[in-house]
Amino acid sequence: MTEPYELDACAARDAILKSALSPVELVSSCISRIERVDPSLNAVVANCFNRALDEAKKAERAVGSGAKLGPLHGLPILIKDLQDTKDLRTTYGSLLYKDHVPEKDESNVSVLREAGAIILGKSNTPEFGAGAHTVNKVYGATGNPFDITRTCGGSSGGSAVALAASMVPLASGSDSGGSLRIPAAYCGVVAHRSTPGIVPTERHSIGYTNYSVQGPMARTVADTQLMLSTLARYDDRDPLSTPWARERFQKSVSVDLFDLKVAFCDDLGFAEVDDGLRSIFWERVEHLKPLFKNWVDAAPNLLDVRRCNWVLRAVHFLSKHRDRYENRRDELGQNVIDNYQAGLKLDAMDITWALQEQTNIFRSMSNFFEDYDLLICPTNAIPPFPIEQRYCNQINNKKFDNYVEWMALTWGLTIPGNPITDLPCGLDHTGMPFGLQICGPHFSDSFVLGAASVLEKSLSENEITTRPVPDLAW
């Protein structure tokens, strides 16, 4: 018999609307699941269970009252610990904010509440989202549910782990260099990095930048799209926000994969990729090829995206952390310090060059999608590394001199700002989840999600490529 916590968001929502499932039953089931499995995983770092149960009771009464119900009515959700959440400890993974309790929700949290979602707590993240390994000095490390001795990725690692372990059907995340996609791939769940401006936020210190976006995470493409349809909207506090954003995601887009021209690429033309994962990718491509009439092995020309990313990332940290670095450096983690100090070495010409190069990369990617409908590549360049490591420092015996190099497959696609859905695709050669990035032209988010949905169905029909589920009987 299926327990309520095992239900995907769409199934749970439909059952609630039909009065076949009570929001109280669902919330209670998820809370019990968290209490049972999270002590070994450390994904949920603050909770408001009593408040959630009260809200679930109100949601239950609303179902029978004839009141208009939101699209997420009664659905439990976790909020990444980078997002301000009213009356709930929000640390940003930093000792500087270890006792911080916001007085109000930030906008995307408010929007989720207004849609009927019931917040159960906060999910773990590295300090200020710096690093694709979820560990910080406040809460410690979050383990991968497939192997608790390995990283779950980051920075939305707590959210990905909670989803994979069926603690909640929905969770929030954010993504700069891969913070939605990397943990989703490492934990066997779905995430979507939208075209910048689709999901607005008032939190950007540099408003006219596509570097960081907030977005949805779930176990299925349909659930991810459901959450995105709530988050997508216009907000005049975000310079990149678009008035037509919400209407683009109200309905699913039907996609015929056979009519598409698809580019498969294992390294984006520049990234170092573990030999074992490269082989796994091409093995999985063999399962995908029959779905498309036209496919090629082709990489976009991302120009000098490596240097461009390093400069823009440093500028991003300079804009956010000056006061913290100058006055409370001893309380900051090494990743934040490294990024900030990289910024201090830049001059005006470095920054000018990076902004120009990003524009060139954007145009090059647009040209690429004049020839292809989709780009499909691996999400991660290596299997999950040991949890005690701060980052992966080498691939195929090639050593790296910074902590972001191993994430090249994700930040390489951050720079042009294309929409990307991370889709689980079975297990890799080490027995850990393997994910694919499904990337499309700018503002084609609905199309990308539609294609991902069809791919998801096809992959689910094969035991090698179906979404993996962790065995939590450690």
Residue 266 to residue 263: CA distance in whole angstroms: 10
pLDDT at 401: 85
Neighbours of 342 (CB within 10 A): 18
Neighbours of 61 (CB within 10 A): 11
Active site residue 155: yes
Counted domains in the chain = 1
Q: Indicate whether 1 pLDDT > 70.
A: no
Choosing from 22, 80, 122, 174, the catalytic residue is 80
Contact 37, 43 (CB under 8 A): no
Whether residue 466 lies inside any domain: the answer is no
Residue 132 to residue 125: CA distance in whole angstroms: 9
Tell me which residue of 375, 362, 366, 373 sits closest to 437, measured CA to CA: 375
| Segment 96-150, tens digit of pLDDT | 999 999 999 999 999 999 999 999 999 999 999 999 999 999 999 999 999 999 9
Whether residue 471 lies inside any domain: the answer is no
pLDDT at 473: 75
pLDDT-based confidence at 227, cuts 50/70/90? very high
Whether residue 354 lies inside any domain: the answer is yes
As a whole number of Å, the end-to-end CA separation of the chain is 22
Whether residue 350 lies inside any domain: the answer is yes
Whether residue 378 lies inside any domain: the answer is yes
Residue 432 to residue 148: CA distance in whole angstroms: 11
Choosing from 176, 179, 212, 229, the catalytic residue is 179
Structural domain span for residue 368: 4-460
Choosing from 22, 29, 155, 241, the catalytic residue is 155
* Percent of the chain clearing pLDDT 90 (strictly above): 94
433-439 and 374-378 as β-strands: parallel, antiparallel, unpaired? Answer: antiparallel
CATH code assigned at 219: 3.90.1300.10
- Outline where 259-373 has alpha helix (H): 275-288, 305-328, 334-344, 348-371
Tell me which residue of 48, 46, 8, 4 sits closest to 28, measured CA to CA: 4
State the DSSP string of 369-389. HHH-SEEEEES-SSPPPBTT-
CA distances from 471 to 275, 431, 474 (A): 27, 12, 8
Active site residue 80: yes
- Which H or E element spans position 161? helix 157-164
Whether residue 469 lies inside any domain: the answer is no
Whether residue 219 lies inside any domain: the answer is yes
| Segment 44-86, tens digit of pLDDT | 999 999 999 999 999 999 998 988 999 999 999 999 999 999 9
Whether residue 474 lies inside any domain: the answer is no
